[in-house]
Amino acid sequence: MDFIPFFNYPVLFKEHQKEFTDIFVDVGSRGAYILQRDLDEFEDSLRQFLNVKYAYGVADGTSAIILGLKAAGIGDGDEVIMPSHTYIATAGALQFVGGKAVLADIGPDNMLDPDDIEHRITSKTKAINPVQINGRTCDMDRLRVIAQKHGLQIIEDAAQGLGALYKGQAAGTFGSFGTFSFYPAKLLGCFGDGGAVVSNDDKIGEMLGFLRDHGRNKEGRVVTWGINSRLDNLQAAILNFKLKHYRSDMERRREIARQYDAAFRDMAEITVPVGPDSDPDRYDVYQNYEMAADNRDQLKDFLREECGVGSIIQWAGTPVHQFNELGFDQQDLPKTDAFFKRCLMLPMNTSLSEEQVQHVIASVKRFYSNAARH
Ligand SMILES: *Cc1c(COP(=O)(O)O)cnc(C)c1O
């Protein structure tokens, strides 16, 4: 069997090469590059898909957070509580607007732990920032109770959570604003950088529309300071096409997760993520299949060298608080530290064939049965 890369861009392109090429030709022939109807259509579709009032396509998932923070009035000296198990962008965007990331630990499902938040709240705390990581949602009911009790906003990094549901409500729509990334390897990936920011709040929603286009309103009049962070119309056209298939994409990911779960959940060496059918409150969409595994580094090498299977350690193995150069003095995140000694992500995307999924499963099992023999 050919090498199974962790993510296979060429296969996903070739699968719909004709449709993509038609889109390039169509957009090019219309010369429709910036703020054109494909972007309007995509924003409409996204609003409907998420059941949210405002949605804007922006340059990328990181600028989406920066714009959201600006619109929500979070900046200078404000503290925001977020998990350390997140992409550096969540913390970086906040620091960039003058705020301070206060990192919290993960709970048993590897999501922001509601029990590790309240003791981190100070007079400067402005918001709680759940990250809907790996296509799963945090315990939004408990986070809402804590936020209300302390008068804090909820702001959501849903870069990895498009389409994930918590009690029927879409990730990204719980707080003042929510953000998404369309980075090529994300759930809904475009052909370069792209992102979106959404809100149900009229003031924030209207402001987001100005901020991503130099502070201009629909008539082109500058009404506030802004910046250029527009999603390219060509990317929007691609995303429009992909969003039409997205429901079946989510189902396919859940099916792969179901197979990994059935194969690994009874193995002593592996701690599986929450399975797709085990939590009636959630619809998880498995941006990643992130498990924890004994002898993780040897397993990773074995998969690559002996079995031709690519795997990845998220954030290249470094949660935010472990970037010493950034000066975090917080080192009280024992569950995150423990998880990062064992975490590993197996291939999880719609390019995988049934045969490839079975090969990944057999390879992981082979590693541990070899280990038992020696
Ligand atoms: C990918 C990602 C981002 C940033 O998105 P970009 O589009 O790459 O800027 C932010 N947060 C999380 C959790 C992500 O996974």
Closest approach atom of ligand 1 to CA 186: 1
Query: Cα–Cα distances in Å, from 315 out to 142, 147, 182, 319?
Result: 27, 28, 17, 7
Cα of 268 to ligand 1 centre, how many Å? 32
pLDDT in tens, 14-37: 999 999 999 999 999 999 999 999
Burial zone of 29 (CB within 10 Å; 0-12 exposed, 13-18 middle, 19+ buried): exposed
Closest approach atom of ligand 1 to CA 62: 9
pLDDT in tens, 60-76: 999 999 999 999 999 99
> Taking all residues of the chain, what is their mean pLDDT, rounded to a whole number?
97
Size of the chain, expressed as the number of residues it contains: 374
Cα of 66 to ligand 1 centre, how many Å? 12
- Over the range 98-122, which residues count as b (16 or more CB within 10 Å of their CB) and which as e? ebbbbbbbbbebbbbbbebbeebbe
Per-residue pLDDT at 150 exceeds 90: yes
Query: What pLDDT score does 372 carry?
Result: 74
CA 19, CA 23: separation in Å to the nearest integer? 6
Q: Hey, which of 60, 133, 183 would you mutate to test ligand 1's pocket, going by the most ligand atoms within 8 Å of its Cβ?
A: 183
What pTM did the predictor assign? 0.97
Q: Are 274 and 138 in contact (CB under 8 A)?
A: no
Per-residue pLDDT at 329 exceeds 90: no
Cα of 362 to ligand 1 centre, how many Å? 31
Closest approach atom of ligand 1 to CA 195: 7
Query: 93 by DSSP, 3-state: which?
Result: helix
pLDDT in tens, 112-149: 999 999 999 999 999 999 999 999 999 999 999 999 99
Choose among 243, 238, 250: nearest CA to 17: 238
Cα of 267 to ligand 1 centre, how many Å? 32
Query: 274 by DSSP, 3-state: which?
Result: coil
pLDDT band of 1, cuts 50, 70, 90: confident
pLDDT in tens, 347-366: 999 999 999 999 999 999 99
Per-residue pLDDT at 374 exceeds 70: no
pLDDT in tens, 160-217: 999 999 999 999 999 999 999 999 999 999 999 999 999 999 999 999 999 999 999 9
Tokens of 30: 């219309």
Closest approach atom of ligand 1 to CA 287: 15
Place of tokens 């994409």: 249
Please name the residue whose Cα sits nearest to atom 7 of ligand 1.
Answer: 61
pLDDT in tens, 246-263: 999 999 999 999 999 999
Cα of 150 to ligand 1 centre, how many Å? 28
Neighbours of 30 (CB within 10 A): 13
Per-residue pLDDT at 97 exceeds 70: yes
Closest approach atom of ligand 1 to CA 194: 7
Cα of 89 to ligand 1 centre, how many Å? 6
Tokens of 190: 């475009």
Query: 223 by DSSP, 3-state: which?
Result: coil
Closest approach atom of ligand 1 to CA 132: 13
Per-residue pLDDT at 301 exceeds 80: yes
Any residues with CB less than 8 A from the CB of 321 and at least 6 apart, and which? 84, 103, 328, 330, 331, 333, 336
Q: H or E element: which one contains 334?
A: helix 334-342
Choose among 222, 232, 240: nearest CA to 36: 232
Q: 372 vs 118, which has greater pLDDT?
A: 118
Cα of 341 to ligand 1 centre, how many Å? 22
Query: What pLDDT score does 241 carry?
Result: 98
pLDDT band of 331, cuts 50, 70, 90: confident
Per-residue pLDDT at 373 exceeds 90: no
Cα of 137 to ligand 1 centre, how many Å? 16
Q: Are 55 and 180 in contact (CB under 8 A)?
A: no
Protein residues with CB under 6 Å of any ligand 1 atom: 60-62, 86-87, 89-90, 131, 133, 157, 159-160, 181, 183, 193, 195
Please name the residue whose Cα sits nearest to atom 2 of ligand 1.
Answer: 159
Cα of 188 to ligand 1 centre, how many Å? 12
Residue 348's φ and ψ, nearest 5 degrees, are -155, 95
Closest approach atom of ligand 1 to CA 133: 13
